[in-house]
Amino acid sequence: MQAATLKSLEVQMRLNASRDALGPDLESLEELQWSRSIRGGRRSNRSRRHHHRRWLLRRRAKIQRCRIRKIRQSRSIESHLASALSMNKHTVTSVRCDDSRRITINLPERLNFLEDYEDTCSHFAILRNAVEKGWRIKRLDFSKISSISTSAALVLASTVDQWKERVRGRLKADLPSWQADITRLLCQMGYFELLGLRKPAHEWPRGDTTFLPFMRGKVGGEDSGAMAKQLRVNIENMVGGSIRKHFLFEGLSEAITNVSQHAYTDVVDDKRKYWWLSASFNSVTRELCVTFYDKGVGIPKTLPAHKLFEKIKLVFDAWSDSKKIEAAMEIGRTSSGMEERGKGLQNLIEFAKAHEIGKVRVSSLRGCFEEAYETGQSGEQEMGRSRTDFRHSVGGTLIEWSVILKC
Amino acid sequence: MKTISIGKDYSDTPLGRYEGDGPFNGTRFREEFLRPALESGEAVHVKIDDTEGYGSSFLDEAFGGLVRFGYFSASELQSKLVIELEDQDYNLYKNLIWRYIDSAQPAPK
């Protein structure tokens, strides 16, 4: 009797252990077996309910596993995205990635290289890295932009232009959400053609600032000079008068020559050897801005150290980019090492110098050098220089001329 | 006397120093236009004010290169070469041309 009780207890314990291992469904399983045994394999309502319950449990577990996998995947995509695109505090909330690994980039409210240099450069760096690494860009969100400078618009256009050239995709842009003034400026600069958007049929209300369509030139291209001339003709049509054409051509031709001789020396692919050019005019302040941009190695990387202290500075990385740009503007300094070369960057100053108020700003990699001229009441021209170094790179070399035209 | 109008005979947008800079560079102008004309022995008049302008790379390579490559000395060029202009805005380029010729050093052979 005692042995029989002990055996039944053992059986009960094993059953409980199995139940614990399999969960609550074991009871139902037993019931199912029991019902099958009783009814000769015919399924009862109870068994159907049991099957349904099992199916629901399996489905729930599968969904849970999928969720966990997606979270793990998205975490790895996000961390991969952040490192691949060099995201920072300025851009941490600006990039989204969907399941198919296509990214959406939200552009910031203000794009310019004066007050918002770091923010602007950080966003452009993401776009540039996405192009370099072949990421698929789903959408560029222009809706938050409330102001954009000529130079920022040109750098952005150049990056989108390269993305189209190399990745060969189509970018989405929600045109209705763009602010009216920004839409007009970007339309003038040629963004509609670039993004494949249909231009609105209506005429834009005239604003104070007018942009000229950006131009893309190829290094060593046959039409480089003709493009510089075309820009001058377009500027004269825009401002309604003639400008000092030879000074403008002098600066542009040297900028183009500098790009072909120094900027892309380490680039083999011809599809990457381009420069971009544009201009804008403010009819109220009569300020004319001409902007030239290339995505080359940058002036600081092509500048040789002439003197011993410069060589020591280079070794200890104590020579800032802005100081290197300033040194490059000196006559006779060139990466070729030939004395006759290195006169070119001085030509960049002439267009600014030829006006009563004018300045030239050269930004290359993380440095910026500015030379400004103003003619005082005595008729003497005063010159001011300034240098600035930043945390983020402009991604090449950007030359900006800004002059006030006489009425 | 030979006359070369850079704008009409060569390009109204001369640009760059070497072949790689573009088709209307300083090297090509020197080798195909300036040097043959000067080697003929006649005085050469170069009209410079019918272009968009010049960068120093073009002028230095086209004119300073004549001395640097040992084709002519600076004094020979002073007697053979005449720079012509009507637009006084281009006078600065005339000054630059002579400065590049005078400062160029013949390369050692």
Q: Domain spans of chain A?
A: 19-70, 85-207, 210-407
d(CA A156, CA A288): 20
Tens-digit pLDDT string for chain A (407 aa): 455 555 665 666 565 555 555 444 545 555 555 555 555 555 678 888 898 999 999 999 999 888 888 777 766 767 777 777 788 889 888 888 887 778 889 999 999 999 999 999 999 999 998 888 888 888 889 999 999 999 999 999 999 888 888 777 777 777 778 888 898 999 999 988 888 888 877 777 778 999 999 999 999 888 899 999 999 999 999 999 889 899 999 999 999 999 998 899 888 888 789 999 999 999 999 999 999 999 999 988 887 655 555 666 666 566 789 988 988 887 555 544 444 445 567 888 989 999 999 999 999 999 999 999 998 878 888 889 999 999 999 999 999 999 999 87
Mark yes or no for CB contact B56/A347 under 8 Å. yes
Choose the closest CB to B53 out of A219, A250, A260.
Answer: A250
Residues A286-339: pLDDT tens digits?
Answer: 999 999 999 999 988 887 655 555 666 666 566 789 988 988 887 555 544 444
d(CA A209, CA A214): 15
pLDDT at A1: 45
Element (H, E) at A397: strand A397-404
Contacts of A261 in chain B (CB under 8 A): 17-18, 20-21
Query: Against a cut of 0.90, is the pTM above it?
Result: no
- The CB density around residue A165, as the number of other CB atoms within 10 Å, is 13
Contacts of A343 in chain B (CB under 8 A): 56-57, 60
Contacts of B24 in chain A (CB under 8 A): 225
Q: Which residues of B77-108 are buried (b: 16+ CB within 10 A; e: fewer)?
A: beebbebeeeeeebeebbebbbebbeebeeee
Contact (CB, 8 A) for A229 and B13: yes
pLDDT at B73: 95
List the single best residue of B11, B17, B19, B56 to mutate versus A (max A Cβ within 10 A). B56
Residue A94's SS3 state is coil
Mark yes or no for CB contact A244/B15 under 8 Å. no
**Percent of chain B clearing pLDDT 70 (strictly above):** 99
Kindly report the CATH number that applies to the domain delimited by A210-407.
3.30.565.10
pLDDT at A344: 63
Contacts of B68 in chain A (CB under 8 A): 340
Contacts of A344 in chain B (CB under 8 A): 55-57
Instruction: Tell me the CB-side half-sphere exposure of residue A5, using CA atoms within 13 A.
Output: 2
d(CA A345, CA A330): 8
Kindly report the CATH number that applies to the domain delimited by A85-207.
3.30.750.24
Domain ranges across chain B: 2-103
Mark yes or no for CB contact A343/B56 under 8 Å. yes
d(CA A253, CA A221): 12
Contact (CB, 8 A) for A150 and A289: yes
Contact (CB, 8 A) for A159 and A131: yes
Place of tokens 């209307």: B24
Contact (CB, 8 A) for A140 and A196: no
Structure tokens at A407: 């009425």
Structure tokens at A244: 């000092």
* A291 closest CA partner among A150, A389, A183, A91: A150
For chains A and B, count residue pairs whose Cβ atoms are closer than 8 Å. Answer: 97
Average per-residue pLDDT for chain A:
83
The stretches in chain B having pLDDT less than 70 are 109
Structure tokens at A180: 């009216």
